[in-house]
Amino acid sequence: MKVTIWDLDYYYSSTKVNCFNPDVMRLSSYHKQRGDDVNFVLSPDDIFRPFDLYYIIKENKKTPNPPLQFYTDSRVKWWGKAVKQRVNWEMNAAMIACRPDYLLYPEKETKMERSDQVRLFGPDGKFVERRQDWENAYTSKHTLVVDENWIGNDKVEVAKALKWLQTIQNVSFLYPISLIPLIGSKILTEQFLKLKFHKGSVIKWGGLYVGYAKEAIDWLADFYRIVPNIKREPLVIKVYWDSHWKSKETALLDFKNIRELVVLGKRKEIAVTVEEPERRLDTPYFLFFEEVTKWMNKSPRISWLEWITLKYLGKFIDNQDYWNSPQKWNEVFRDLLRQTYQDVEFLLLQWGNKSVSENVVPWLMWQDQFKLGL
């Protein structure tokens, strides 16, 4: 067969840096091993070559669309998040088990090229036990698991996958990992902790709601103690934003809960952030939640008080003359500090057991200046 593969995200990328799609490389490998003639679209001339089967891949919504004629051709197979409503096929077990075609993209010596990009599960959620050998690809490589929601599969199948991964060196993950299945299963946690993680690897943790957050922080504290070479990423907390328009009390409670989790996380040296709403005005109080996330992403080791003063004034004011002149600071800090001035631990805690001295701020003056809430 004549097979064309068009990775729209790569084709329209201005930089071509680390935008390789592992599924695209796996498709190319599968068809080449079947003896098919694979045409990978690199130029306008490649787009309209004769074909029997045509794959169009688009993960990024901002990427331009292909010509309209492809939308009505039954030989076209669509793939990717940005065209999920058009996806009309699934990768079979043979495709998933293929070693990616690392020579497909012209750019060489890239991070993506030097990783073993492995899919663990088939479309039925079962662990794919038989797969092609990756060991002869490159030296000094790491194994990158590219399944998006692998941890949410059947626990028995996940345990099989983790047991297999224990035989692999330098494991890392492309997508965020949900902590809920790990928190709820001692067996999966034990298997996960036995993995040989890639040194300096970044593991992102999928967002979870407040009810699971305290357990998640405790779990992460144990994880980082056992696996110290992993870069610590923030724990993302989800919020039901639409409820804030219905009830100011709900917004106040959510912000209180987030502050408590930030303090708990800082005590255990884990940054806690808030998952951003799709639109800012999904909550009328976006400023508070957004500012906490900016703070935790950029400077989690300093206190909330230091973050606000450093951000708006370029330095942390710790002299009494400054605080005794409300006209100098009231406008700058009013909105961001009104809701937190009574939460002394949240306001002053830096990292671990370190805090800003309470003597920095004249609390009685604050009580007079910040009587209002949200």
pLDDT digits (tens, 9 = 90+) for 311-343: 777 777 676 666 666 565 555 566 677 677 778
Q: Judge contact between 284 and 245, C-beta under 8 A.
A: yes
Residue 367 is predicted with a pLDDT of 65
Q: Over the Cα atoms of the chain, what is R_g?
A: 25
Residue matched to tokens 């593991």: 203
The yes-or-no verdict on residue 374 having pLDDT over 50 is: no
State how far Cα 179 lies from the chain centre: 13
pTM for the whole structure: 0.77
Q: Check residue 105 and report its DSSP letter.
A: S
Q: What is the mean pLDDT of the chain?
A: 86
Q: How does residue 3 score in pLDDT terms, banded at 50, 70 and 90?
A: very high
Residue 276's nearest CA partner among 298, 262, 291 is 291
pLDDT at 335: 65
pLDDT in tens, 10-61: 999 988 776 788 889 999 999 999 999 999 999 999 999 999 999 999 999 9
39-72 per-residue burial string, b: 16 or more CB within 10 A, e: under 16: bbbeeeeebeeebeebbbbbbeeebeebeeeeee
Question: What percent of the chain has a predicted confidence (pLDDT) above 90?
Answer: 49
